[in-house]
Amino acid sequence: MAAAPHALILGVGPGLGRALARRFGQGGFRLTLGARRKTVLDEFVRELSAEGIEARAEPVDVADEVALRASIARSREIWGDHELLIYNTSLLHEGLPSEIAIESFVRDFRINVAGALVAAQEVGRPMRRNGHGTIFMTGGGLALDPWPEMASLAVGKAGLRNLALSVAKEFEPDGVRVSTVTIGGMIQENSPFSPQLIADRFWELYGAEGSAFAREVIFSG
């Protein structure tokens, strides 16, 4: 029997990250889950195991390039090449453009954008060699309509959107699909922007074939 496909999900915190893990785990993936807090990840892995979903924790700070590359390589050594990457990591620091400290702005950018680039590079090489694979990046409406009070995150989401579209154009000729799901509202339970509904949209997009797969999907609730 062939092994289940391997998904790497980075940014598995409360809310959307967990919903994505459950949805793709229920869909037959075995999951490597990345976030900073090991104890929280370990607890969630136990929850998934009780639900019959195979998962392992891979604690990592995505702002640390060396650590992130090593983490992805380690997950590949354990469960093989990744069939799916979901980059769901972001960091919000409120602040007007006139007030943001440069050091904080650069740190945010490393998490919101640069980590996605590193992850795409690391999983992308084997995906392109194998001729298949899917990369999702969780976008946000701030990329399209920024709020000055959230300037750093808005720049991050705009950068992530541009990165996803650029990676798509480079990787698609080699059989690798890349898309950003741009979430046009506040993620909240029991709302049109609930984590479960958004995760279902990711899953629907994953199952799309040919021209039905889009480089960008705007989730409007």
Domains of the chain: 6-219 (3.40.50.720)
Structural tokens at position 167 = 């990676």
Give CA separation, 221 vs 14, 16, 135, 202, in Å.
19, 14, 22, 13
Q: Given 3-state DSSP classes, what are the helix, strand and coil percentages for the chain, each rounded to the nearest 5?
A: 50, 20, 30
Can you give the pTM of this predicted structure? 0.96
Is residue 136 classed as helix, strand or coil in its secondary structure?
A: strand
22 contacts 48 by C-beta, under 8 angstroms:
yes
- Angle formed by the axes of helices 65-79 and 115-130, to 10°? 30
- Reading the chain (221 residues) residue by residue, the pLDDT tens digits are 678 999 999 999 889 999 999 999 999 999 999 999 999 999 999 999 999 999 999 999 999 999 999 999 999 999 999 999 999 998 788 889 999 999 999 999 999 999 999 999 999 999 999 999 999 999 999 899 999 999 999 999 999 999 999 999 999 999 999 999 999 988 889 899 999 999 999 999 999 999 999 999 999 97
